[in-house]
């Protein structure tokens, strides 16, 4: 059943019923796979490879990485089942932002079949290597592998690898500034429809959106992105949804559609976390910084960009040169708006963040709770007001984190944002000043029924 459904997934016409079939039989295949891992490892490897594309579409492949590694370990290096498992492991590691492991899996397949006649497995391995090398910033090597993959894919009749090779050549051309060639290659990839799974067809929409936006054709990029996202949602294709949402956010921000940008960002962030698609998180976090800059939140923008830069040092560049040039201009404006001291503090906060903490921070910043447009404590969200109340009760950051079921780092990010919004620094005066401003009532009973924010601090009541 899994083999028949997998064959259907590798077509654009039978993908939807095949995926629904596997959805319905999830419990059965899980039980069969668990049994086979203990009693019949060749069957386990066949079943895992048959289910891998469905796992990928449904955002579950990252969670099956160890199982695939174990199943591949039962097969001989260079065998068909082993090669298929290594290719899936390469894509899983890439989506989990482990680029070194990803390159290792793809290279293992290349080396295992290198001395044999041209094969579909070699074409696929070279396409995977090209994708990972481009993410690592090794553009020349990526282009060489992609061109070789394209030749082999056409020679061996592997349209899936052909699409991937054209996609990587398109992205590489765009990163090099040859936008016309990038668009031409992306459209060429999109013309291949026979013998490829629907997910690869939707990938072509993602690549076309990216290169059209890079070329400055924002209207056409928007149409391609919206169409691709609609198809990905219809198919339950979480991988392409994450990929497309970050690019659509960029288009939203550039068109001043800040409300839509925030909604798309939150959706993309949640999907990336849910699926373990960590490499898709970084573009979303970066775009959240752009949205903050566009809406006058310079401190938050600098924090998010610094967090992305810190991750980039380990993962490799993720943006084309034109984007980095635009970022330098945005950084300059944000630093000028804040001044040296506050700008440095905001960037230091970001540089200290892990990817997970930066994700929590971005989710907080895209909270759909409406915020008043006036400056000051009235801008605080419901969660931020809750934190102020807990601070007023004398809770520590660790106690607040435990009560609200968030990390201590997220508590610190909340408090930093409260400080940036209000100018109040944590200390004995912070809860009094903020509660006074938020409620327009003095929390010190010895004072009048109400006062301006902080008025009670000017002449504190005896004993308080």
Residue range 154-178, pLDDT digits in tens: 999 999 999 999 999 999 999 899 9
251's CB contacts (< 8 A; 6+ apart) are: 213, 218, 221, 222, 225
Question: Mind listing the pLDDT tens digit for each residue in 412-436?
Answer: 777 777 777 766 554 544 554 555 5
What was the pLDDT predicted at 464? Answer: 34
Q: Check residue 451 and give its pLDDT.
A: 42
Q: Are 138 and 102 in contact (CB under 8 A)?
A: no
243 vs 226: CA distance, rounded Å: 12
Question: Long-range contact list for 341-348, CB < 8 A, 24+ apart?
Answer: 342/299, 342/420, 343/298, 343/299, 343/302, 346/298, 346/299, 346/300, 346/302, 346/303, 346/306, 346/420, 347/302, 347/303, 347/305, 347/306, 348/306
Compute the average pLDDT of residues 181-185.
97
pLDDT of residue 325: 57
Query: At 12, is the pLDDT very low, low, confident or very high (cuts 50, 70, 90)?
Result: confident
Which residues lie below 8 Å from residue 197, measured CB to CB, with a gap of 6+? 9, 10, 11, 12, 15, 53, 160
Inform me whether the pLDDT recorded for 368 exceeds 50. yes
Check residue 406 and give its pLDDT. Answer: 76
pLDDT tens per residue across span 36-65: 999 999 999 999 999 999 999 999 998 899
Secondary structure of 106-120 as H, E, C letters: HHHHHHHHCCCCCCH
- What are the respective helix, strand and coil percentages of the chain, to the nearest 5? 75, 0, 25
Question: Which two structure tokens, joined as six digits, stand for 206?
Answer: 């993602």
Average pLDDT of the residues in 240-262: 91
Q: What is the mean pLDDT of the chain?
A: 84
Is the four-CA dihedral 254, 258, 264, 266 of positive or negative sign? positive
Angle between helices 198-214 and 41-57 (to 10 degrees): 40
Q: How far is CA 293 from the centre of its chain?
A: 19
**Among 27, 24, 22, 21, CA closest to 51:** 22
User: From CA 6, how far away is CA 8, in angstroms rounded?
Assistant: 5
What average pLDDT does this structure show over 199-209?
Answer: 92
pLDDT at residue 422, rounded to an integer: 66
- Reading the block at residue 368, the tokens are 């759909």
Q: How confident is the model at residue 458 (pLDDT cuts 50, 70, 90)?
A: very low
Q: Is the confidence at residue 244, as pLDDT, over 50?
A: yes
Confidence of residue 319 (pLDDT cuts 50, 70, 90): low
Is the pLDDT at 14 greater than 50? The verdict is: yes
The per-residue pLDDT for 326 is: 66
Note the pLDDT of residue 342. Answer: 92
Checking if the pLDDT of 102 tops 90, the result is: yes
Residues 412 and 426: their CA atoms lie apart, in Å, by: 11
User: Residue 229: is its pLDDT beyond 70?
Assistant: yes
Contacts 24+ apart (CB under 8 A), 258-266: 258/291, 258/294, 258/295, 261/287, 261/291, 261/294, 262/291, 262/366, 262/368, 263/366, 263/368, 265/291, 265/362, 265/366, 266/363, 266/366, 266/368
Which residues, 6+ apart, have CB-to-CB distance to 463 below 8 Å?
A: none
CA quadruple 331, 336, 337, 343: dihedral sign: positive
Region 281-292: what's the mean pLDDT?
Answer: 90
Domains, the chain, with CATH or none:
377-435 (1.10.10.10)
- Rounded percentage of the chain residues whose pLDDT exceeds 90: 57
């Amino acid at each position: 059943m899994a083999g028949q459904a997998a064959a259907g997934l590798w077509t654009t016409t039978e993908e939807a019923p095949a995926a629904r079939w596997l959805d319905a039989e999830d419990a059965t295949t899980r039980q069969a796979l668990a049994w086979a891992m203990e009693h019949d490892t060749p069957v386990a490897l066949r079943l895992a490879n048959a289910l891998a594309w469905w796992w990928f579409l449904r955002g579950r492949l990252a969670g099956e990485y160890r199982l695939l590694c174990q199943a591949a370990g039962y097969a001989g290096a260079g065998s068909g089942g082993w090669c298929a498992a290594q290719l899936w492991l390469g894509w899983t590691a890439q989506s989990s932002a482990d680029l070194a492991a990803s390159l290792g899996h793809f290279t293992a397949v290349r080396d295992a079949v290198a001395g044999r006649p041209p094969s579909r497995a070699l074409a696929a391995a070279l396409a995977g290597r090209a994708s990972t090398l481009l993410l690592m910033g090794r553009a020349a090597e990526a282009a060489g592998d992609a061109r070789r993959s394209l030749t082999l894919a056409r020679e061996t009749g592997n349209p899936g690898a052909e699409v991937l090779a054209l996609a990587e050549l398109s992205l590489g051309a765009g990163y090099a500034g040859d936008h016309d060639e990038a668009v031409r290659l992306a459209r060429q990839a999109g013309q291949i429809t026979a013998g490829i799974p629907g997910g690869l067809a939707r990938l072509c929409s993602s690549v076309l959106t990216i290169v059209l936006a890079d070329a400055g054709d924002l209207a056409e990029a928007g149409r391609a992105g919206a169409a691709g996202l609609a198809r990905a949602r219809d198919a339950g294709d979480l991988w392409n949804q994450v990929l497309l949402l970050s690019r659509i956010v960029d288009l939203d921000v550039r068109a001043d559609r800040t409300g839509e940008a925030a909604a798309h960002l939150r959706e993309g962030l949640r999907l990336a976390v849910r699926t373990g698609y960590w490499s898709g998180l970084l573009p979303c976090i970066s775009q959240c910084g752009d949205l903050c800059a566009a809406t006058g939140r310079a401190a938050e923008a600098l924090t998010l960009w610094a967090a992305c830069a810190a991750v980039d040092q380990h993962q490799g560049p993720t943006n084309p040169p034109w984007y980095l040039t635009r970022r330098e201009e945005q950084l300059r404006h944000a630093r000028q708006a804040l001044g040296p001291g506050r700008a440095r503090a905001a960037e230091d906060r970001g540089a200290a963040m892990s990817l997970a903490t930066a994700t929590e921070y971005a989710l907080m910043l895209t909270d759909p709770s409406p915020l008043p447009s006036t400056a000051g404590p009235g801008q605080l969200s419901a969660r931020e007001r809750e934190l102020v109340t807990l601070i007023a009760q004398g809770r520590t950051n660790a106690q607040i984190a435990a009560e609200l079921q968030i990390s201590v780092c997220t508590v610190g990010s909340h408090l930093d944002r409260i400080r940036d919004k209000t100018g109040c620094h944590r200390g004995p005066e912070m809860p009094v000043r903020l509660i006074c401003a938020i409620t327009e009532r003095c929390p010190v009973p010895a004072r009048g029924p109400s006062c301006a924010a902080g008025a009670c601090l000017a002449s504190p009541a005896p004993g308080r």
